[in-house]
Amino acid sequence: MASLLKASSNVLRFEKLPFLSRSKTRQGVVPKKITFRLVPIALSLSTSIGTVEHDLRSNSPNITIPIMVNGCTGKMGKSVIQAADSAGLYVVPVSFDAEKKSGQTVEVCGKKILVHGPSDRESILASVFQEYPNLIMVDYTVPATINDNAELYGKVGVPFVMGTTGGDRDQLYKTVEESKVYAVISPQMGKQVVAFLAAMEIMAEQFPGAFSGYSLQVMESHQAGKLDTSGTAKAIISCFQKLGVSFDMDQIQMLRDPKQQIEMVGVPEEHLSGHAFHLYHLTSPDQTVSFEFQHNVCGRSIYAEGTVDAILFLAKKVKSNADKRIYNMIDVLREGNMR
């Protein structure tokens, strides 16, 4: 992932081109060629399905921070397991998923994880937590389940890190606050992206109106399976609006077509199934000055690494008997290097 701030005067050639959006075709001033600078983040995993009997009592001699990944059958869950294993964390061989996946096993990094359905998950989680009192739960599930999941974690009392997006966020925070458990909740787990967002928010707060009159074009490219507009893009646009830029969210150009992603923005073919490319282009009223903010992510390792840091952060808070409350990735960043 690379974050780029680039200022230029009379550098880019512009011409009138139709600007694509979800709502309708707009006329706008856009660069003749859009260039994304790439820092690839590769991820390789091997998975298989088999049968395994699991015993919650592990013989591992140094289980300092045991974790349980809810959503281990998904790509993000598997990425977190790989990153956690590399960091020396102990992955408890138990997970939850939909009833149709109950009884399946997922093998990641040579670890066989038995998947349980929703019917018996409260008793299983309670047993796991009793066996591993330092357990940190990790949630990478789906938007439809996060509220029920948070209620479960609160009822059992297990600390958790949640990177799942969507759901009823107001209810989510209300549930966790009332349960008084340790939690890190963030829809964006990439620490560097979070730092960029924080810098944008500081700039917007301290220099409101600094870009008044500037026009803005936004393009975001994600894997075809992501149907909604990037929440990160919306957050950055909100900062630009505070800086005086007039821009509607429906003007965001969403790229989901693999052919366009390869040809227009240079997404490597091997990362079409998992990437996040963002470009924000500002132009002065007289078109003599332009700025570009850009960040590109290939793969999921940036989010998995950030999740591991959040786990280490939360474990530290639990150990020090810090306040039981909801933390976010800004709190994790402020803590400094966790490894």
Same-domain status, 79 and 184: yes
Could you identify the residue written with the tokens 């009592």? Answer: 57
Q: What mean pLDDT do residues 20-48 have?
A: 38
Q: Residue 50: what pLDDT?
A: 32
Active site residues: 222, 226
d(CA 17, CA 20) in angstroms, rounded, equals 9
pLDDT tens-digit map of 109-157: 998 999 999 989 999 999 999 999 999 999 999 889 999 999 999 999 9
Residue 13: inside a domain: no
Percent of the chain surpassing pLDDT 70: 81
Residue 10: inside a domain: no
Q: Residue 83: what pLDDT?
A: 96
d(CA 121, CA 332) in angstroms, rounded, equals 29
Q: Is the pLDDT of residue 61 over 90?
A: no
Residue 265: inside a domain: yes
Same-domain status, 161 and 173: yes
Confidence of residue 33 (pLDDT cuts 50, 70, 90): very low
Residue 314: inside a domain: yes
Instruction: Tell me what the pLDDT averaged over the chain comes to.
Output: 84
Q: What is the DSSP string of 61-102?
A: S--SSEEEEETTTSHHHHHHHHHHHHTT-EE-SEEE--GGGT
Residue 129: inside a domain: yes
Residue 35: inside a domain: no
pTM: 0.76
Same-domain status, 180 and 84: yes
Same-domain status, 72 and 169: yes
Same-domain status, 185 and 196: no
Determine how many CB atoms are found less than 10 A away from the CB of residue 210: 13
Q: Which residues contact 326 (CB under 8 A, 6 or more apart)?
A: 173, 176, 177, 183, 184, 185
Q: Is the pLDDT of residue 321 over 50?
A: yes
Distances (CA, A) of 75 to 13, 46, 106: 40, 11, 12
Same-domain status, 105 and 167: yes
Residue 24: inside a domain: no
Same-domain status, 228 and 317: no
Q: Residue 64: what pLDDT?
A: 80
CATH number of the domain encompassing residue 117: 3.40.50.720
Q: Residue 58: what pLDDT?
A: 43
pLDDT tens-digit map of 252-305: 999 999 999 999 999 999 999 999 999 999 999 999 999 999 999 999 999 999
Same-domain status, 319 and 279: no
Q: Residue 131: what pLDDT?
A: 96
Q: Is the pLDDT of residue 22 over 60?
A: no
Same-domain status, 180 and 159: yes
Half-sphere exposure of 150 (CA within 13 A, CB side): 29
pLDDT tens-digit map of 98-108: 888 899 999 99
Q: Residue 231: what pLDDT?
A: 84
CATH number of the domain encompassing residue 201: 3.30.360.10
More confident residue, 47 or 322: 322
Same-domain status, 289 and 196: yes
Q: Is the pLDDT of residue 5 over 60?
A: no
Smallest CA-to-CA distance from 29 within 294, 285, 295, 293 is with 285
Q: Is the pLDDT of residue 41 over 80?
A: no
b/e burial code for range 80-99 (CB count within 10 A of at least 16 → b): bbbbbbebebbbbbbbbbee
Confidence of residue 25 (pLDDT cuts 50, 70, 90): very low
Q: Which amino acid is at 331?
A: D
Percent of the chain surpassing pLDDT 90: 71
Q: Which domain holds residue 109?
A: 66-189+301-335
Same-domain status, 77 and 185: yes
pLDDT tens-digit map of 198-248: 999 999 999 999 999 999 999 999 999 887 888 899 999 999 999 999 999
Q: Residue 332: what pLDDT?
A: 96
| Domain count of the fold of the chain | 2
Same-domain status, 229 and 87: no
Residues 265, 215: contact at Cβ < 8 Å? no
